[in-house]
Chain A
Amino acid sequence: MPTDTLSRTLHALADPTRRAILARLRQGTATVNEIAAPFPVSLPAISKHLKVLERAELIERGREAQWRPCTIRPEPLREAAAWVERFRELWEDNFRRLDALLETMQAPQPPDTPSTPENES
């Protein structure tokens, strides 16, 4: 089990159901039943996902109410988003240069090396 915040966040985000749960919670606090409703999996399975999210501090669960409503906590997500953004920006920058290079590779002849295809010797 990952121990640092970023790893816990990424681990929690690596599962599509958990990402969907978080997407739902971005719209507002919800109970377990409300969260589980759109998913084709059992309530215990959803509870397990919620535990992972809670351990990663991606959600908070109410203490007083017996239905323990879940609320999203944005801080670890922001940290993960910043990390991913850094990674993404770096590569997008690389790949824009690669686009330009690939375009020149597809050009039939570079303009500075004139050669006529019919009389090659």
Chain B
Amino acid sequence: MGEPLKETRTRREGTHLLVRAGEYTCGLPLAAVRRVVRALTVHPLPGAAGELEGLAEFGGEPLPVLNLARLVNASPGANPSYPVTVVVRVGPADGREMLGLAADAALEVVHVPPDSIVAGEGGFLQGEAPLGGEVVRILNLEALGS
């Protein structure tokens, strides 16, 4: 009984939403993703760092929106035809917060085996994993809110 349950949990933890961010493909832990919506209208916050696009309204509440391509230092890609905002929960378990990630496109949901991830610099970038002939940047969203 124990092994199948453990396997299921591991598989769930390894499930990621792939999104396009500039020249990169990034994997967001699916458990942290609350919603994917067409790019929200963002109101800028003057003086903010480039990673912070501004504030949007989502579900009647203010939502900070970060530019995912800037977060992962990706060069801008071509103009996206269907840009999205991925609404995620970030931060440690005892202080989760909602955040929007502006991305060029939502691609697909995939399983990324944990042992295929080559550890990255730590922090927001958990590591990189080969997937379908390209390298996917696996993100650690918990690091964003802390």
Partners in one complex: no
